[in-house]
Structure 1
Amino acid sequence: MLGFRSCLSTARRVNLSFPTKMDTFMEAFEYAANRSKVLFGSGTIAKLPNILASRGLSRPLLLSTPQQLDQAQQVQKLLSGEAAGIFSEATMHTPVEVTDRAVEFAKSTKADSLVSIGGGSTIGLGKAIGIRTGLYHITIPTTYAGSEVTPILGETSDGLKTTRSDPSILPDAVIYDVDLTMTLPVGLSAYSGINAIAHAVEALYAQNTNPIIKMFAQEGVRSLAAALPEISKDPASQAARSSALYGAWLCGVCLGSVGMSIHHKLCHTLGGSFNLPHAETHTIVLPHALSYNASQVPHDMQRIASALGDDRGDAISGLNALLDKLPVKRGLRELGMREEDIDKAADIAMTKAYWNPRPTERDAIRELLRRAWAGEPARADL
């Protein structure tokens, strides 16, 4: 947790204004700090054995996707082979049937803890196992997703994705090692970074937001907006990689501290019901979701614009400009979504709607999805 002086310094860098008159009214709010222990730096993965030993743990189950099995094997070597085993079937949207297999594997190997290394898919699996078994969970993120510091679990079953929030879902410890992100492909870096920005954007105008989260959100967006174009130009820049990982942590804390709105509802719909890739979907939908809410939260739009470095104070243009600098797709049809599924997606999005600063209107939501499907630039006329 940042100290007061550090918070004050951060606030000044992101142009937060503090009241100068004693009669300025501060609205009431609630804030609870994230309980996860965070280790951030270069080479910090070397601290994993000590973390386990300090808890009296010696049989961690290592989790990864099939594509990141080699990283799980490297962790196994770091632990001198002292692990219950490796489960490398993590996949996007955390299917319940995969979790069930993992839980049974954890029981059969007598695992006493979990170590998940990878992006949102692996971290999600670790959360799903942890909430079912109570095993101590250490996560080692290798992307900028931010889900490692949220008490939120999204799971897919029978073609529908549902989410729940519970403090016990949070991993117990997070090891951020910038060295593990140095080979993250530029495209995946961009997509996961924009996914993280989406967490911060919606946290700014969440129903239960607060001044601390607003400060974290602005700093997180600022860090990522500066780092991602630099990573696209120079993937080996350790400074840019470090800034992006720092921003992703802040944005993840935002997601884990307050409620989300229409952007996340739409992305959960598109991912869970149409199996669209998580970070890519967030990247495409975000500017359109921002335009949907812009008229209702003008002050927060100014904060976003400032964090994005848009001199005109236009958050939508600022986000469009950032995306133009990155090697990312802009249309859901490029991800395989069919045009005839737009109406179905709009109907699903209208069910069990999340709180949103602007009421969810079916026709406007459908048009938002159509623009995102077609890959049109976002504009403020939804």
Structure 2
Amino acid sequence: MGLIFDHVALGQRVLFGSGKAAANLAAEVARLSAQRVMVIASDSATPLARAVAAEIEVAVWHHDVVMHVPIEVAEKARAAAAEAGIDLLVCVGGGSTTGLAKAIALTSRLPIIAVPTTYAGSEATNVWGLTEASRKTTGVDDAVLPVTVIYDASLTLSLPVEMSVASGLNGMAHCIDSMWAPRADPINAALGAEGIRALSRGLPLINEDPAGAEGREQALYGAYLSAVAFASAGSGLHHKICHVLGGTFNLPHAQTHATVLPYVLAFNAPSAPEAEARIASAFGTADALTGLQELRKRLDAPKALSDYGFTADWIAEAVEVVLPAVPVNNPHPVTIENLTRLLQAALTGEDPRVLLDF
């Protein structure tokens, strides 16, 4: 019957170069003819952001950045942008910072230039997320896709190895989830596989030489590929689980993704042999789970949700919230029983192989 699929590629400019962020930002601000720029950066990232923005005129600096983008934080930022007559948003930081810029763009339709300092990948997607009353809502809107992404590996040098690992494995989760997400197709599967290869190469190099450029460049490259794949394929089971764990229980974003990933891979892989083979090939191992677990062992990756405050008492509520959001095309049927078992294993850091064929 041949290949049949429907693929949408998002339009975005990507500028990649170590040590070039300030010059690239100035050139993009000029290209876009922006007159009133709002720079969004957390307090901790502000010194870095000021260096990146050294060659442009900034109308407003905004530092109130909170994980999972609470609605009240978004409303405050939206008001600040409107009051100052902002015509361009620049976000310098990780996923929370990019998420806040997206929250402003969602209602204002202002363009965004994203300058990532982690491997979260949000900068390359048209997905937004907001948290209200302990529930995280996500959606898709092309208005939140940054018009330009400026990648500069030197900006990630201050990211500690432990956080680099968690953030990079968050990118790895985008790659793997894209293999069986609602709109999975051969193009985003190819991007996801190349993202796995780049992250598998880059993260160990960061672990071995935190000040080296090669590992961080490979990780940024892999994070971008992972995000493009995710934006095309949509949100699969892994992301549905992690959005609930983050939005409902306020678990840290990157560490949660890094912890849950092997359990979803073990759960889905036996029911998705083609995807499993592609993932295994990208890792260069006989099977996908072995490849991921060998990498996680090298990196001393996050192991248990209990390390981040999650408790057994919350599992039932998590299952209740996740189940209605599970994609109908998930390779393995999801039930109250097997989702509960998955979360129990992730809670304690149990060997994910217990979920194979569960």
TM-score (norm 2): 0.96
What whole-Å deviation, never above 9, does each CA across 1:153-200 have from its counterpart, x for those lacking one? 111000000110122221111001111112221011101110001111
In the alignment, which residue of structure 2 is the partner of 1:38? Answer: 14
Secondary structure at the residue paired with 1:139? strand
1:287-342 C-alpha deviation (Å, 9 max, x unpaired): 001111112101111111111121xx211122111111113320000001122111
1:369 aligns with 2:347: no
What is the CA distance between 1:348 and its match in structure 2? 1.3
Find the partner of 2:49 among 47, 72, 96: 72
Work out whether 1:156 is the aligned partner of 2:131: yes
**Amino acid in the other structure paired with 2:17:** G
Unaligned runs of 5+ in 2: none
How far apart in 1 are the matches of 2:11 and 2:290? 36
Among candidates 182, 202, 207, match of residue 182 of structure 2: 207
Contact 2:188 2:230 in 1 (8 A): no
Q: How far 1:88 sits from its partner (Å)?
A: 0.7
Hey, what does 2:65 align to over in structure 1?
90
From 28, 33, 37, the equivalent of 1:51 is 28
Q: Is the 8 A contact 1:195 1:283 kept in 2?
A: yes
The unaligned stretches of length 5 or more in structure 1 are 1-24
1:14 equivalent in structure 2: none
The normalised TM-score by structure 1 is 0.90
Paired residue type of 1:43: G
User: Which residue of structure 1 lines up, in the alignment, with residue 308 of structure 2?
Assistant: 335
SS at match of 1:351: helix
What does the per-residue CA deviation read over 1:229-258, in whole Å, with 9 as the maximum and x for residues that have no partner? 121111122111111111111001011111
Q: Offset at 1:353?
A: 2.6
> Aligned equivalents of 2:325 and 2:187: distance in 1?
29
Note the alpha carbon deviations across 1:2-30, whole angstroms, 9 max, x for none: xxxxxxxxxxxxxxxxxxxxxxx532112
Counterpart residue identity of residue 193, structure 1: G
Aligned to 2:192: 217
- Counterpart in 2 of 1:10? none
Contact kept, 8 Å, 1:130 with 1:137, in 2: the verdict is: yes
1:354 to 327, 335, 341: 327
**Once the two structures are superposed, what CA deviation does each residue of 1:91-148 show, in whole Å capped at 9, x if it has no partner?**
1111111010001111222211100000100001111101111111100011111110
Matching residue's letter, 1:27: L
4+ runs deviating over 3 angstroms: none
Q: How far did residue 76 of structure 1 move?
A: 3.8
Task: Provide the secondary structure at the position in 1 that maps to 2:69.
Answer: coil
For residues 270 and 95 of structure 2, what CA distance do their matches in structure 1 show? 32
Paired letter, 1:358: H
**What amino acid is the match of 2:197?**
R
Name the CA distance, whole Å, in 2 between partners of 1:341 and 1:181: 34
Matches within 5 A, 1:298-309: 298-309=273-284
Tell me, yes or no, if the aligned pair for 2:194 and 2:222 is still in contact at 8 Å.
yes
**2: CA distance, partners of 1:49 / 1:370:** 49
Corresponding residue for 2:122? 147
Cα distance in structure 2, aligned partners of 1:302 and 1:124: 33
Q: Is the 8 A contact 2:182 2:327 kept in 1?
A: no
Could you tell me how far 1:90 is from its partner in structure 2?
1.2
- For the residues of structure 1 that align with 2:39 and 2:2, how far apart are their CA atoms? 46
State the match for 1:262 in structure 2.
237
Q: How does 1:6-17 map to 2 (within 5 A)?
A: none
Query: Could you tell me how far apart the structure 1 residues matched to 2:189 and 2:227 are?
Result: 13
What is the distance in 2 between the residues matched to 1:207 and 1:156?
23
Task: After superposition, give the CA deviation of every residue in 1:18-76 in whole Å (9 maximum; x if it has no partner).
Answer: xxxxxxx5321122222111111122311211211122112210001222122222234
Q: Does the CA-based 8 Å contact 1:84-1:110 persist in structure 2?
A: no
AA aligned to 1:347 is: E
Q: How much does 1:206 deviate?
A: 2.4
Q: 2:157 and 2:81 mapped to 1: Cα distance? A: 31
State the distance in 1 between where 2:157 and 2:125 align: 24
Mapped contact 1:217–1:251 kept (Cα < 8 A): yes
Residue 29 of structure 1 corresponds to 5
Indicate the percent of aligned positions where both proteins have the same amino acid: 40
Partner residue, 1:15: none
CA contact (8 A) 1:152 1:170 kept: yes
Q: Give the whole-Å Cα distance in 2 for the aligned partners of 1:78 and 1:335.
A: 40
